[in-house]
């Protein structure tokens, strides 16, 4: 493919992100696309053009471009009206990851049709339901519908003594209450009017007394097909349940090799591949989404069962620095953009 038939725009939130993001993708532009970075404010709707930052003859330049053939959205929580307007001009299926801030309840409802055995019970927050589920499961996580990087996630644990420990990021409690009414009032104070879900707490397997997750990066390739680029683990700080604020990132196989014999490790990795690709198929079947990449976060319980904790529509790319296949992380979205340019 030459530069004349593959014009791709990467949408970012603000000007300061343009060069940083573009540098990462230009290094891995195997499809030889013409790529530029732009922001929502740089779109000139009247004359259907975009002011974008690009690299030309070794120099960074700002130029006016026609609307790109394909838009790769790296702008988190994008104004959907902008995406719809772009889609009306270039085609609705030419903008991928147009939704990248997922509604956790909606994702659960989609996945539960076929993957219910791998999903912790999840419902919209209701104060009566919270008390009821706490009695059933003993541990709950309360998460914003539109959470990001573990922000605003609370853990509630019902102890044998009847005390309820409410935690934020760490297992040590932020607050201890002694009856359900206090629990309801305290949670309401923490979450306010923000829509939340309640998620069943899983008895998480640890490594060296630290929580870890298993994150599968699922991306479409140059044929428009889903593939697994990488499977990594984030190891939480000691005493923390939040793997989003992690002490270390490594390949999941390294963690699993410390816990299981090789045949068991291979079986777990195969299951991660299978479940991630099944999740991709389910999301693809919902026409509200047009994704080129997302990640699936798993945890293992003490019975070696995998649980899908959540999906992320804008995977953090820094996680893969220095790890196997780190360049594919940036290459595959461009491969998929190249595919969309010709289909």
The predicted pLDDT at position 2 comes to 37
The predicted pLDDT at position 194 comes to 95
Residue 4 confidence (pLDDT) above 80: no
Residue 165 confidence (pLDDT) above 80: yes
The share of the chain scoring above pLDDT 70, in percent, equals 99
Q: Which segments within 3-158 are labelled E, that is strand?
A: 7-11, 34-38, 43-44, 49-56, 59-66, 70-73, 95-96, 122-124, 139-144, 154-158
Residues 109 and 221 in one domain: yes
Q: What is the pLDDT of residues 108-142, one digit of tens each?
A: 999 999 999 999 999 999 999 999 999 999 999 99
Residue 241 confidence (pLDDT) above 50: yes
Mean pLDDT in the chain? 94
Tokens representing 105 are 């309840």
Residues 6 or more apart whose CB falls under 8 angstroms from that of 46 comprise none
DSSP for 24-40? HHHTT-TT--EEEEE-G
Q: Which segments within 67-114 are labelled E, that is strand?
A: 70-73, 95-96
Last residue of a domain, one of 200, 227, 262: 200
Compute the Cα dihedral for 19, 21, 26, 27 and give only its sign: positive
The predicted pLDDT at position 5 comes to 59
**β-bridge partners, 177:** 164
Residues 188 and 215 in one domain: no
Residues 108 and 164 in one domain: no
Tokens representing 313 are 């529509």
Sheet with strand 306-312: strands edge to edge: 246-251, 226-236, 214-220, 293-300, 306-312
Residues 114 and 258 in one domain: yes
Last residue of a domain, one of 200, 215, 247: 200
- Residue 340 in any domain: the answer is no
The predicted pLDDT at position 147 comes to 79
Rounded Cα distance between 186 and 197, Å, is: 16
Residue 10 confidence (pLDDT) above 70: yes
Q: What is the pLDDT of residues 179-233, one digit of tens each?
A: 999 999 999 999 999 999 999 999 999 999 999 999 999 999 999 999 999 999 9
- Answer for the pair 229, 324: CB distance below 8 angstroms, yes or no: no
- Residue 318 in any domain: the answer is no
The DSSP code for 311 is E
Tokens representing 180 are 């359900």
Residue whose C-alpha is closest to residue 259's, from 210, 319, 331: 210
Q: What is the pLDDT of residues 279-306, one digit of tens each?
A: 999 999 988 899 999 999 999 999 999 9
Note down the domain range covering 53. 3-96
Distances (CA, A) of 338 to 3, 66, 100, 285: 11, 17, 20, 22
Residues 226 and 248 in one domain: yes
- Residue 289 in any domain: the answer is yes
CATH number of the domain that 51 lies in?
3.40.50
The predicted pLDDT at position 78 comes to 73
Residue 1 confidence (pLDDT) above 50: no
């Amino acid at each position: 493919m030459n530069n004349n038939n593959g014009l791709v725009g990467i949408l970012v939130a603000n000007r300061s992100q343009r060069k940083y993001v573009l540098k990462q993708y230009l290094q891995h532009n195997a499809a030889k696309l013409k790529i530029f970075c732009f922001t929502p404010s740089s779109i000139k709707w009247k004359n259907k053009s975009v002011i974008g930052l690009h690299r030309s003859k070794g120099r960074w330049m700002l130029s006016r471009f026609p609307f790109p053939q394909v838009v790769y959205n790296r702008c988190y929580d994008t104004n959907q009206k902008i995406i719809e307007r772009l889609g009306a001009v270039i085609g609705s299926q030419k903008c991928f990851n147009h939704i990248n801030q997922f509604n956790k309840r909606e994702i659960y409802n989609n996945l539960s049709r076929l993957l219910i055995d791998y999903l912790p019970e999840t419902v919209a927050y209701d104060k009566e339901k919270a008390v009821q589920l706490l009695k059933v499961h003993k541990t709950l996580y309360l998460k914003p519908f539109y959470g990001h990087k573990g922000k605003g996630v609370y853990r509630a644990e019902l102890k044998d003594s009847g005390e309820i420990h409410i935690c934020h990021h760490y297992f040590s409690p932020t607050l201890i209450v002694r009856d359900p009414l206090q629990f309801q009032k305290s949670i309401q104070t923490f979450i306010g009017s923000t829509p939340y879900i309640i998620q069943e707490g899983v008895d998480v397997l640890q490594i060296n007394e630290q929580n870890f997750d298993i994150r599968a990066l699922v991306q479409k390739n140059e044929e428009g097909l889903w593939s697994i680029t990488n499977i990594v683990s984030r190891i939480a700080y000691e005493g923390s349940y939040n793997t989003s604020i992690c002490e270390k990132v490594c390949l999941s196989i390294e963690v699993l090799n410390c816990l299981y014999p090789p045949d068991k490790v291979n079986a777990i990795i195969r299951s991660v591949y299978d479940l991630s690709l099944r999740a991709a198929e389910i999301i693809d079947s919902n026409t509200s989404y047009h994704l080129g990449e997302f990640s699936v976060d798993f945890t293992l319980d003490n019975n070696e069962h995998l649980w899908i904790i959540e999906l992320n529509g804008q995977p953090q790319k820094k996680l893969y620095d220095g790890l196997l296949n780190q360049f594919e992380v940036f290459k595959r979205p461009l491969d998929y953009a190249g595919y969309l340019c010709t289909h």
